Every structure is written in C-alpha cells, then in structure tokens.
Amino acid sequence: MSTVRSSTTPFICGLDAALRVVSGKWKPLILFFLAKDPKRYGELKRCVRGVSDKMLIQQLKELEVDGIVVRTDYKEIPPRVVYELSPFGFTLADALIPLCEWGTEHTDIIEKALVRRVTA
C-alpha cells in the first residue's frame, strides 16, 4: 500500500507490521493469484498484467525472504521455476480475505472516490 513506513522503525501496532509485508505495488495481486494455485514465473507474469520483470522478481524475492512465497527451481532447460504460497503465506492470504471482500463489495464507491481524488 503505498509505500509504508521505513523498515527500521518499530511497529506501532499489528496492522502496521502486517502492512510492511503486503505493501508493494504488486504484492497483493501476487498473493491473490498464488492463493489459487502454484504458478510458473511466466504464468504469474501473465496474471499480474502490466508488471515488469524487474518488479515481479523484486516483489517475489521479498515475499520469499518474508517466508510467504516458496520458489522451486527445477533446474531444467528451458528453465522451469514454480512459485507457491507457504503455509505461513496462506495464513496471510486468509487474513486478507475480509479486505478483499470489502473491496469487492464497494468497488464502485472506491472507484468514484479515486476519481474525486484526482479532480480535487
């Protein structure tokens, strides 16, 4: 979410902590699509429309370091690398469901609000 607070400052609350993990332009979408099933790099890139290699890799690496995503390299040629959620990752995905539903439920209101933001 937009960028959030510096990684060195202490957390103010649990929400703050959680948001440091899911914040990042493409992370929620990565979570969303990987929650459905494991995907190869190329597949995932096609799901997350508009993302560049640089961004996708960067965010995947952070999620991997955070223990959310598991990367499996099959060492084949041509390369085959599969990304999936860890059990810990699934707990995060679960925690995001209400927010996901909230967004789905209020999509039109949100859309209008964002337009207002620009004109305002």
Partner DNA sequence: CAGCATCCAAGAAGATACTG
Partner DNA sequence: CAGTATCTTCTTGGATGCTG
Applying CB under 8 A, what is the total number of residues that bind a second copy? 63
Q: Kindly state whether residue 40 participates in binding a second copy, applying the rule CB under 8 A.
A: no
Give the SS3 label for residue 102.
helix
User: What residues numbered 69-88 form the site for a second copy, per CB under 8 A?
Assistant: 88
Q: Kindly state whether residue 57 participates in binding a second copy, applying the rule CB under 8 A.
A: no
- 59 and 69 Cβ atoms separated by less than 8 Å: no
- The single residue among 37, 54, 77, 116 that binds a second copy, judged by CB under 8 A, is 116
Beta strands 39-40 and 69-73, pairing class: unpaired
Pick from 84, 95, 81, 98: nearest CA to 36: 84
Binding residues vs DNA (CB under 7 A): 2-4, 6, 24-25, 40-43, 50-55, 57-58, 61, 71, 73, 78-81, 83
